[in-house]
């Protein structure tokens, strides 16, 4: 009887408020003193952060987008991982959650549309007991992001302060913090894009075709726009960290042309 009462009391105990894990974070991430705000200092990558404790199925993770930075393609990524951040060595973290961390560990993350991660917007995301990853932006409709999350073990929230997303703040999901208006997502109809099949899209923006390679390492996972920004900002390949000497379109490999 006593054991039963103890178990019931434990189940009803309030959860510890979510914060960012203070040690397991990308090389460019700066956290505030409370561990509630994460800001990426430079570049467009190395912005991975984790929750400090596991997140239960159905529990909402709420955050506010604080700052945005122009000149990049793609933005915030959110999801869950079985990787315990307490056992993570920060220098070992890859530059991207998608696809790098997903390939290195049981991690399931997704890209949020750029129009949904504007400054001031509140993003809530969660995974249900069936392994479906959902997100909701402000008072908008629920978005199904993934269907394949394995929920049979503890899961930590993982976020990538990536690209145009410069800073985020964790919130209390039970508070009435969500704006009532859903921001309009810019239409893509005005800018025709080449059809991209899965596996051929740029690993930076996940939108444009991967049609550009980096010289001399030869990695060709990027669209021309993102490759130019990488060359201009760091001149370092985000995959292998080799110094970039030039960039060129994939078709120019046959002609010897570069840029």
pLDDT tens track for 159-181:
999 999 999 999 987 665 544 34
pTM of the full structure: 0.67
Q: Is the pLDDT of residue 1 over 70?
A: no
Residues 139 and 199 in one domain: no
Angle among Cα 74, 76, 78 to the nearest 5 degrees reads 130
- Please give the C-alpha separations between residue 204 and each of 11, 201, 217, 228, 257, in angstroms, as whole numbers: 42, 9, 17, 12, 24
Mean pLDDT for the stretch of residues 118-123: 94
Domain presence at residue 183: no
More confidently predicted of 249 and 60: 60
Residue with tokens 């402000």: 138
Q: Is the pLDDT of residue 212 over 90?
A: no
Residues 142 and 223 in one domain: no
Domain presence at residue 176: no
Closest alpha carbon to 168 in 2, 18, 3: 18
Residues 231 and 131 in one domain: no
pLDDT tens by residue, 24-79: 999 999 999 999 999 999 899 999 999 999 999 999 999 999 999 988 888 999 99
Residues 230 and 136 in one domain: no
Q: Is the pLDDT of residue 137 over 90?
A: yes
Residues 249 and 167 in one domain: no
C-alpha 106/C-alpha 83 separation (Å) is: 7
pLDDT tens by residue, 178-211: 443 433 333 333 333 334 444 567 877 777 788 8
- Among residues 118, 138, 171, the one where a domain terminates is 171
Residues 26 and 143 in one domain: yes
C-alpha 221/C-alpha 209 separation (Å) is: 9
Residues 79 and 144 in one domain: yes
- 31 and 83 Cβ atoms separated by less than 8 Å: no
Position 186 scores a pLDDT of 35
Domain presence at residue 188: no
Domain presence at residue 215: yes
Residues 85 and 144 in one domain: yes
- 37 and 167 Cβ atoms separated by less than 8 Å: yes
Residues 42 and 153 in one domain: yes
Domain presence at residue 4: no
Which range among 18-32, 114-128, 203-217, 230-244 has the greatest average pLDDT? 18-32
Domain presence at residue 7: no
Domain presence at residue 178: no
C-alpha 3/C-alpha 5 separation (Å) is: 5
- 85 and 24 Cβ atoms separated by less than 8 Å: yes
Q: Does residue 213 sit in helix, strand or coil?
A: strand
Position 252 scores a pLDDT of 43
The CATH number covering residue 244 comes to 3.30.40.10
Lowest-pLDDT choice from 1-15, 32-46, 91-105: 1-15
Q: Which range of residues forms the domain containing residue 234?
A: 195-259
C-alpha torsion angle, residues 139, 121, 168, 242 (rounded to 10): 110
- 195 and 182 Cβ atoms separated by less than 8 Å: no
Percent of residues, the chain, with pLDDT higher than 70: 80
Residues 252 and 148 in one domain: no
Q: Which two tokens stand for residue 223?
A: 């669209």
C-alpha 158/C-alpha 97 separation (Å) is: 8
C-alpha 67/C-alpha 130 separation (Å) is: 33
Q: Is the pLDDT of residue 127 over 70?
A: yes
Residues 29 and 121 in one domain: yes
Please, what is the average pLDDT of the chain?
81
């Amino acid at each position: 009887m006593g054991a039963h009462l103890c178990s019931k009391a434990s189940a009803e105990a309030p959860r510890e408020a979510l914060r960012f894990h203070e040690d397991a974070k990308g090389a460019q991430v700066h956290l505030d003193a409370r561990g509630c705000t994460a800001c990426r200092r430079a570049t467009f990558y190395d912005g991975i952060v984790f929750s400090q404790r596991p997140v239960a199925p159905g529990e909402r993770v709420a955050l506010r987008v604080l700052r945005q930075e122009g000149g990049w393609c793609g933005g915030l990524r959110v999801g869950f991982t079985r990787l315990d951040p307490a056992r993570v060595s920060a220098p070992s973290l890859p530059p991207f959650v998608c696809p790098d961390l997903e390939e290195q560990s049981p991690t399931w993350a997704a890209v949020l549309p750029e129009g949904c991660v504007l400054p001031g917007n509140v993003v809530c995301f969660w995974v249900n007991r069936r392994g479906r990853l959902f997100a909701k932006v402000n008072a908008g409709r629920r978005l199904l992001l993934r269907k394949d999350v394995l929920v049979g073990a503890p899961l930590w929230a993982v976020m990538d302060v990536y690209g145009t997303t410069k800073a985020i703040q964790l919130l209390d999901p039970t508070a009435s913090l969500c704006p009532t208006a859903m921001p309009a997502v810019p239409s893509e109809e005005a800018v025709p894009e080449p059809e991209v099949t899965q596996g051929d899209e740029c690993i930076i923006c996940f939108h444009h075709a991967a049609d550009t390679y980096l010289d001399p390492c030869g990695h060709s996972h990027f669209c021309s726009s993102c490759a130019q920004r990488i060359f201009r900002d760091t001149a370092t390949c985000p995959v292998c960290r080799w110094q970039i000497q030039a960039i060129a379109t994939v078709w120019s490999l046959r002609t010897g042309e570069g840029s």
